[in-house]
Amino acid sequence: MNKQLSAGDHVTSKCTKCKDTTNHTIVAMVGDIVARVECNTCGGIHNYRDGATKKRTSKSKSKTGSVKPAKNSRTEAAWENQINEADPDAATPYNIKMSIKVGDLIQHPNFGLGRVIDTIKPDKMEVVFRDGTKLLRCCVE
């Protein structure tokens, strides 16, 4: 908290006549900066020469921590979120003979982008699409 100074307030400043840090009365302000002060010891008026009160308080920047994607979560909602954020270019076009594994991203001609959440031997896979989970034919290893 910065105490707002104004003319008439008392500050300590270096006085060239006293060659010491003495109590001063503020004579003039420029904005919120003390401009001229009167030395209480010698009565001399001079420019305020003490940078101490203008020290900027360094505010600690609050970094927004990067949220790690819940990769272990197998809930459909989590997978749907991943699909929304997934890069369509990384998806493999769906093919009945495609070899897939859980976690693969596929591009289906009708359902669009999907993520494989389960495989059912010998030839089925469960895929989450934007509009729900579908069971598709595939080639399960």
Note the residues at the interface with Zn ion (CB under 5 A).
15, 17-18, 39, 41-42, 44
- Which lies closer to Zn ion via its Cβ, residue 47 or residue 73? 47
* Shortest Å, Cβ 28 to Zn ion: 17
* Shortest Å, Cβ 43 to Zn ion: 7
Q: Which residues lie closer than 8 Å to 30 by C-beta, 6 or more apart?
A: none
DSSP 76: H
3 state DSSP class of 9: coil
- Which lies closer to Zn ion via its Cβ, residue 45 or residue 90? 45
Q: How far is CA 40 from the centre of its chain?
A: 49
- Which lies closer to Zn ion via its Cβ, residue 42 or residue 78? 42
- Which lies closer to Zn ion via its Cβ, residue 49 or residue 74? 49
* Shortest Å, Cβ 61 to Zn ion: 41
Please give the Cα distance from 53 to 118 (Å, whole number). 65
* Shortest Å, Cβ 20 to Zn ion: 8
Q: Quick one: CA torsion of 86, 91, 95, 101, rounded to 10 degrees?
A: -70
